[in-house]
């Protein structure tokens, strides 16, 4: 976070670091409307959008968020109610929440927009000194804030492996309008560099527009060199000129000429046959647990018709059926793939469930989660996490005394505390997610076979409904039935495993009465909840049994669960065991879920066979994926945490919209990674 802001005589922020103003001293809001909105023709373009369409604005330099909020206001005034705005912005030196609030007080007419933005910013701003992607959503407005250097942040939106001269990621069409706003070029040349302009070009498509307050010659030349047609027009206020224009990739410019001789470089993560689905499409989701219901929710919000199909008589009957689940996240001090996915998932989940907790106070509580440093290794990991995320509002390290105060019970260990987490009843969450009139639930229906119909480009689902033969066609299918996903011919190869977990219900105990948060160590415990007969109990758990598929309750597992609890809370002596529940987690070999288009294994094995000789070689091919067949499985014991992000990734992809996280995170959960790894490993055998 930046501490180098001072406030001028009119209460406007000035960067001491760059010795420049965030917006025109004369009138920042009018400047934003004139420079960025008018010269990108936003009003007309927003008015032309129809329901289900979307528009992408890209910005360099989020600063106080003024441009974003003004754009949101313009959108509200002009765009169709069921269209969606994606605003992707970058910020290397984010303002603190207090600085942002102070800056935005200058614009009372934007309060309806700045209030929710600020609320989110205060809970989510993550400043760990390295790149982070933050995501804010309010109705049809999506903000992706790339905290870090603009060039790097925007390049990551092209996907991990895509060279900068490549096309924008195949499943979203690129930015429609750029706001180039990064302090004066003389004071901050990094924001106007040639590599940055190349990245802007890579994320643009034909006739993407841009506007900027500056008319600097170097900026003009860089933009022209990268394929933008540039016009000089009168600037705002005292500024004589500014630049605007559009991306015309065929224009006669230096970089384009060089590029013409270069072939586009493809990568296996790119889907060969992708085309966004029309809003009238009908999508089947197989599995009515958290993964299926979050996918349904995100798709229904976009206006798709969704059928959630399950063999049971109700929602959340299997792995997602425990009465209490904890929103639990495993952050990481390093920037590995798992840590990045966990961070993105946590930030999204804590926002999403905030609404649930408000609406369902008896089916969960936003009462925080303590992750105890219960052994030397975890203690050291917790300390590293606290150092990395020390300034972030969503996690802090508590010493044993503070942890005890937070828990209401004496604890001997320090702990990470996640104030925006808590416990939820997953069945109630699933019900809440599937309320939309766009969602239909087909119970007692088991899907046995998926056939692609070439003539109509649809999927025919075949199976049983109420023990009768059943068949129905859909435009797309999301497989979200956890450990049973391997049952289809197309997904037989999945490397997922089922891991048995048993929880134990213990009776109300006076010792546990003061417990007012959720405690996680080897096991976990939450405050009291009630069963369907209103009898109070605590759920504790969960055992971890590999290669055990027994659905009956085991006394040994109950004893193990109690032993884990007593290690943390020895004051709990002999609680009465009321019962328990057995479920099966579905996990993957790298603990990341499998989310996204389902690869065609035969095509992959032949197209990328070359990796078995040389894993580093360039195989210039897109991956072949089953058309509009998606996977959302392997969330392990983190279903509550992972599935909001996973569902949103799937829905954004089906609609052809930019992802709710970085493209690198999307690539990290691509199911095809396991086919590629298998090919690569075959080499060493």
Least distance in angstroms from the C-beta of 183 to ligand SAM? 5
Looking at 52, 63, 463, 523, which residue binds ligand SAM (CB under 6 A)? 63
Looking at 31, 176, 181, 657, which residue binds ligand SAM (CB under 6 A)? 181
398 φψ region: left (φ > 0), alpha (ψ -120 to 50), beta (else): beta
State the Cα–Cα distance between residues 142 and 131, nearest whole angstrom.
19
Q: Does 498 bind ligand SAM (CB under 6 A)?
A: no
Q: Does 61 bind ligand SAM (CB under 6 A)?
A: yes
Least distance in angstroms from the C-beta of 234 to ligand SAM? 20
Q: Does 73 bind ligand SAM (CB under 6 A)?
A: no
Residue 530 parent element (H or E): strand 529-530
Taking contact as CB under 6 A, which single stretch among the options 178-186, 318-326, 388-396, 572-580 is the one that binds ligand SAM?
178-186
Looking at 76, 127, 160, 190, which residue binds ligand SAM (CB under 6 A)? 190
Least distance in angstroms from the C-beta of 70 to ligand SAM? 8
Least distance in angstroms from the C-beta of 388 to ligand SAM? 20
527 φψ region: left (φ > 0), alpha (ψ -120 to 50), beta (else): beta
Looking at 66, 203, 286, 476, which residue binds ligand SAM (CB under 6 A)? 66
Taking contact as CB under 6 A, which single stretch among the options 65-73, 278-286, 547-555, 671-679 is the one that binds ligand SAM?
65-73
Tell me 34's DSSP state.
I
Taking alpha carbons only, the member of 303, 298, 322, 286 closest to residue 434 is 298
Taking contact as CB under 6 A, which single stretch among the options 64-72, 356-364, 484-492, 528-536 is the one that binds ligand SAM?
64-72
SS3 category, 275: coil
**Within a 10 A sphere around the Cβ of 538, how many other Cβ atoms?**
22
Nearer Cβ to ligand SAM (150/525): 150
Taking contact as CB under 6 A, which single stretch among the options 176-184, 236-244, 437-445, 616-624 is the one that binds ligand SAM?
176-184
Looking at 92, 198, 222, 653, which residue binds ligand SAM (CB under 6 A)? 92
Least distance in angstroms from the C-beta of 393 to ligand SAM? 20
In degrees rounded to 5, what are phi and psi of residue 267?
A: -140, 155
Q: Does 64 bind ligand SAM (CB under 6 A)?
A: yes
Taking contact as CB under 6 A, which single stretch among the options 175-183, 318-326, 412-420, 606-614 is the one that binds ligand SAM?
175-183
Taking contact as CB under 6 A, which single stretch among the options 186-194, 468-476, 477-485, 592-600 is the one that binds ligand SAM?
186-194
Q: Does 182 bind ligand SAM (CB under 6 A)?
A: yes
Nearer Cβ to ligand SAM (65/541): 65
State the Cα–Cα distance between residues 633 and 655, nearest whole angstrom.
20
- How much helix, strand and coil, in percent to the nearest 5, is found in the chain? 35, 25, 40
Q: Does 159 bind ligand SAM (CB under 6 A)?
A: no
Q: Does 447 bind ligand SAM (CB under 6 A)?
A: no
Looking at 5, 12, 22, 389, which residue binds ligand SAM (CB under 6 A)? 22
Taking alpha carbons only, the member of 541, 393, 416, 577 closest to residue 407 is 416
Looking at 131, 150, 271, 411, which residue binds ligand SAM (CB under 6 A)? 150
Q: Does 93 bind ligand SAM (CB under 6 A)?
A: yes
Cα 360-361-362 angle, rounded to 5 deg: 90
Least distance in angstroms from the C-beta of 150 to ligand SAM? 3
Take residue 49 and report the two structure tokens written for it: 């959008």
Looking at 34, 171, 178, 183, which residue binds ligand SAM (CB under 6 A)? 183
State the Cα–Cα distance between residues 68 and 595, nearest whole angstrom.
30
Nearer Cβ to ligand SAM (24/668): 24
State the Cα–Cα distance between residues 112 and 123, nearest whole angstrom.
18
Q: Does 212 bind ligand SAM (CB under 6 A)?
A: no
Q: Does 23 bind ligand SAM (CB under 6 A)?
A: yes
Q: Does 188 bind ligand SAM (CB under 6 A)?
A: yes
CB-based contacts of 682, cutoff 8 Å, min separation 6: 612
Taking alpha carbons only, the member of 558, 569, 583 closest to residue 527 is 569
**Within a 10 A sphere around the Cβ of 503, how many other Cβ atoms?**
24
State the Cα–Cα distance between residues 651 and 327, nearest whole angstrom.
22
Nearer Cβ to ligand SAM (138/431): 138
Least distance in angstroms from the C-beta of 9 to ligand SAM? 19
Matching residue, tokens 């993964």: 291
Nearer Cβ to ligand SAM (88/331): 88
Spell out the long-range contacts of 447-453 with Cβ–Cβ below 8 A and sequence spacing 24 or more: 447/284, 447/286, 447/309, 448/487, 449/488, 449/489, 450/477, 450/488, 450/489, 450/490, 450/629, 452/626, 452/627, 452/629
CA distances from 496 to 25, 122, 292, 623, 669 (A): 58, 38, 17, 21, 13
Q: Does 134 bind ligand SAM (CB under 6 A)?
A: no
CB 524 within 8 A of CB 518: yes
Q: Does 67 bind ligand SAM (CB under 6 A)?
A: yes
Cα distance from N-terminal residue to C-terminal residue, the chain:
49
Taking contact as CB under 6 A, which single stretch among the options 60-68, 127-135, 295-303, 390-398 is the one that binds ligand SAM?
60-68
SS3 category, 515: coil
User: For the chain, what is the largest distance between any 2 Cα atoms, rounded to a whole number of angstroms?
Assistant: 81
Nearer Cβ to ligand SAM (182/463): 182
Count of residues that bind ligand SAM according to CB under 6 A: 21
Q: Which residues bind ligand SAM (CB under 6 A)?
A: 22-23, 61-67, 90-93, 149-150, 181-183, 188, 190-191
């Amino acid at each position: 976070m930046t501490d180098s802001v001072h406030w001028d005589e009119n209460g406007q922020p000035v960067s001491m670091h760059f010795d420049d103003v965030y917006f025109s001293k004369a009138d920042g809001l009018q400047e934003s409307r004139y420079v960025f909105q008018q010269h990108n023709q936003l009003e007309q373009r927003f008015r032309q959008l129809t329901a289900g369409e979307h528009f992408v604005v890209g910005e360099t330099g989020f600063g106080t968020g003024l441009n974003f909020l003004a754009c949101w206001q313009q959108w509200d005034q002009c765009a169709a109610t069921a269209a969606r705005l994606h605003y992707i912005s970058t910020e290397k030196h984010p303002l603190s929440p207090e600085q942002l609030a102070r800056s935005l007080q200058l614009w009372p007419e934007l309060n309806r927009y700045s209030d929710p933005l600020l609320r989110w910013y205060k809970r989510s701003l993550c400043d760990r000194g390295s790149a982070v992607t933050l995501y804010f959503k309010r109705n049809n407005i999506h903000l992706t804030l790339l905290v870090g250097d603009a060039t790097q942040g925007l390049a990551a939106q092209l996907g991990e492996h895509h060279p900068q001269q490549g096309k924008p990621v195949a499943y979203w069409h690129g930015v429609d309008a750029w706001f180039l706003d990064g302090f004066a070029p003389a004071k901050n040349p990094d924001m106007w560099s040639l590599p940055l302009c190349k990245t802007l070009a890579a994320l643009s498509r034909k006739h993407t527009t841009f506007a900027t307050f500056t008319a600097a010659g170097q900026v003009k030349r860089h933009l022209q060199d990268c394929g933008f047609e540039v016009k000089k027009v009168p600037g705002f206020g005292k500024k004589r000129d500014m630049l605007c224009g559009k991306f015309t990739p065929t224009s006669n410019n230096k970089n384009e000429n060089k590029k013409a001789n270069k072939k586009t470089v493809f990568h296996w993560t790119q889907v060969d046959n992708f085309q966004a689905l029309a809003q009238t499409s009908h999508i089947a989701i197989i599995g009515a647990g958290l993964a299926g219901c979050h996918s349904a929710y995100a798709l229904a919000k976009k206006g798709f018709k969704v059928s959630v199909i399950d063999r049971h008589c109700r929602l959340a009957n299997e792995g997602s059926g425990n009465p209490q689940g904890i929103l639990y996240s495993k952050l990481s001090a390093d920037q590995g793939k798992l840590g990045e996915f966990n961070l993105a998932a946590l930030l999204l989940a804590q926002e999403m469930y905030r609404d649930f907790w408000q609406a369902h106070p008896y089916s969960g509580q936003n009462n925080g989660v303590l992750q105890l440093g219960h052994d030397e290794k975890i203690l050291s990991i917790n300390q590293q996490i606290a150092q990395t995320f020390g300034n972030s509002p969503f996690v802090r390290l508590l010493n044993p005394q503070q942890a005890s105060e937070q828990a209401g019970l004496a604890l001997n260990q320090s702990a990470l505390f996640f104030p925006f987490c808590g416990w939820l009843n997953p069945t109630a969450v699933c019900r809440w997610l599937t309320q939309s009139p766009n969602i239909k639930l087909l119970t007692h229906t088991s899907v046995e076979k998926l056939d692609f119909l070439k003539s109509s480009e649809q999927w025919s689902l075949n199976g049983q409904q109420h023990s009768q033969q059943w068949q129905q066609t859909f435009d797309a299918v999301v497989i979200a039935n956890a450990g049973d996903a391997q049952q289809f011919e197309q997904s037989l190869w999945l490397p997922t495993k089922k891991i048995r977990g048993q929880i134990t219900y213990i009776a109300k105990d006076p010792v546990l009465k003061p417990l007012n948060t959720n405690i996680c160590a080897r096991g976990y415990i939450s405050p009291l909840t009630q069963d369907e007969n209103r009898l109070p109990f605590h759920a504790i758990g969960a055992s971890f049994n590999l290669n055990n598929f027994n659905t009956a309750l085991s006394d040994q597992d109950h004893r193990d669960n109690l032993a884990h609890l007593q290690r943390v809370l020895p004051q709990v002596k002999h609680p009465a065991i009321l019962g328990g529940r057995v479920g099966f987690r579905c996990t993957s070999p790298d603990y990341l879920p499998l989310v996204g288009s389902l690869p065609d294994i035969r095509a992959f094995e032949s197209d990328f066979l070359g990796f078995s000789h040389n894993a580093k070689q360039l195989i210039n091919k897109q991956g072949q994926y089953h058309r509009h067949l998606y996977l959302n499985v392997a969330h392990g014991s983190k279903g509550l945490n992972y599935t909001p992000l996973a569902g949103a990734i799937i829905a954004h992809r089906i609609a052809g919209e930019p992802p709710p996280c970085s493209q690198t995170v999307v690539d990290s959960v691509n199911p095809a990674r396991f086919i590629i790894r298998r090919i690569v490993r075959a080499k060493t055998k």
